[in-house]
Amino acid sequence: MIFKRSVTSRVLSIIAALLLVLAWIIVDCNLAGGALAGMYYQMYPWITEPLSAVQPNITVPTTPTIPTIVSTLNVKRFGDRGLYMYRAAATRDNPWYLLAAIDAVELGSCASPTTARLNQVKAKLVGTTVDQKLRAYAGNSSFVMMVKRRMSDMLRIDGLFSAAHKFPLPLNSGYTYEDSWGAERTFGGERFHEGVDLIVAKGTPIYSASYGTVTKKGWLTLGGWRIGVQDENGIYYYYAHLSEYGRFEVGDAVRPGDILGYVGSTGYGPEGTDDVMIPHLHFGMYENDVAFNPYAFLKAWR
């Protein structure tokens, strides 16, 4: 009985001591009245403060992060001017993607079509359906199947020519342009021209050619004030040498015809360089950071 009472007393003494310690902690750390969270945040400040305030070597982005879309259209397969050649040779009965698919299967390439070759191909495409035309051309069922598979692939590229796109300048603005893709350039070192220059008066509105998201905006040594838009297929549209911007910022969605900015002559130097060249819009198109000739698309969108 004495033993049980002694054990009980010791347990109660321990509990009382623990309660006193807890009370001291509460008073000393000022936890009463809901300050527990305050102590927790003092121990782990990154819960309530910007990450850069706790770890100054880390930069927190202040603009939206735009995910990069990997494109699978493979427009570059047409080389510098192949796509334009196929489009120019196409007819209502023999669309460009049929001609290109035949070359891709038969020649292994659609990068360098010639007018003579395309005329020969069209002459052999007899019939009213694709199957009839291809059987008349080769008489080989496996050939027919392979060409139709390539056609299906190229039809995705055909969407870039669709009415869901718009010429990047007003049609009545008095612009002029030619296929200047690949022309030699020397400023900043020897290079080739990755786009088409559209000559037009300074201040002319520049339209978005596509649906998409603004992914880049600001100064480039070569491009001056520039803005870039990426569409849902991962194609990047590049507009350079602007005199001023429209209302869109990085992360904003745009539609064909939205004003991205106005034609200028900026670039070829440090920020603010102007009038080194005549006013014009440099228009470029890129797939997975690789430029391809936009001339055929500009012709289609007019």
Give me the CATH number covering residue 181. 2.70.70.10
Q: Answer yes or no: do 222 and 246 share one domain.
A: yes
Q: Out of 132, 161, 190, pick the residue that ends a domain.
A: 161
Per-residue pLDDT for 139 more than 80? Answer: yes
Q: Answer yes or no: do 152 and 184 share one domain.
A: no
CA 163 to chain CA mean position, Å: 20
Q: Please give the Cα distance from 268 to 277 (Å, whole number).
A: 9
Q: Answer yes or no: do 115 and 154 share one domain.
A: yes
**Residue 150: which residues within 8 A CB-CB, separation 6 or more?**
100, 101, 104, 105
Q: Answer yes or no: do 100 and 187 share one domain.
A: no
Please give the average per-residue pLDDT across 266-275, as a whole number: 95
Q: What is the pLDDT of residue 182?
A: 87
Residue 167 covered by a domain: no
Q: What is the pLDDT of residue 9?
A: 62
Residue 59 covered by a domain: no
50 vs 171, more confident: 171
Q: Answer yes or no: do 186 and 274 share one domain.
A: yes
Residue 60 covered by a domain: no
Residue 70 covered by a domain: no
| Range(s) of the domain holding residue 225 | 176-301
Q: Out of 161, 184, 212, pick the residue that ends a domain.
A: 161
Cβ atoms of 110 and 86 closer than 8 Å: yes
Which two tokens mark 223? 């491009």
Residue 67 covered by a domain: no
Q: Out of 161, 186, 210, pick the residue that ends a domain.
A: 161
Q: Answer yes or no: do 121 and 206 share one domain.
A: no
Tokens 């539609």 identify what position?
255
Q: Please give the Cα distance from 233 to 240 (Å, whole number).
A: 21
Q: What is the pLDDT of residue 65?
A: 75
Q: Judge if pTM exceeds 0.75.
A: yes
What is the distance in angstroms between the CA of the first residue and the CA of the last residue of the chain?
A: 106
Would you say how long the chain is, in residues?
A: 302
Q: What is the pLDDT of residue 230?
A: 97
Residue 257 covered by a domain: yes
Cβ atoms of 187 and 282 closer than 8 Å: no
Cβ atoms of 169 and 256 closer than 8 Å: no
User: For the chain, what is the total number of helices (H) and then of strands (E)?
Assistant: 9, 12
Residue 235 covered by a domain: yes
Residue 169 covered by a domain: no
Q: What is the pLDDT of residue 170?
A: 98
Q: How many domains does the structure of the chain reveal?
A: 3
Q: Please give the Cα distance from 219 to 139 (Å, whole number).
A: 57
pLDDT digits (tens, 9 = 90+) for 224-269: 999 999 999 999 999 999 999 999 999 999 999 999 999 999 999 9
* 3-class DSSP state of 4: helix
Q: Answer yes or no: do 37 and 86 share one domain.
A: no
pLDDT classification of 17: cutoffs 50, 70, 90: low
Which two tokens mark 74? 């493979």
Amino acid identity of residue 51, one-letter, is L
Q: Answer yes or no: do 180 and 157 share one domain.
A: no
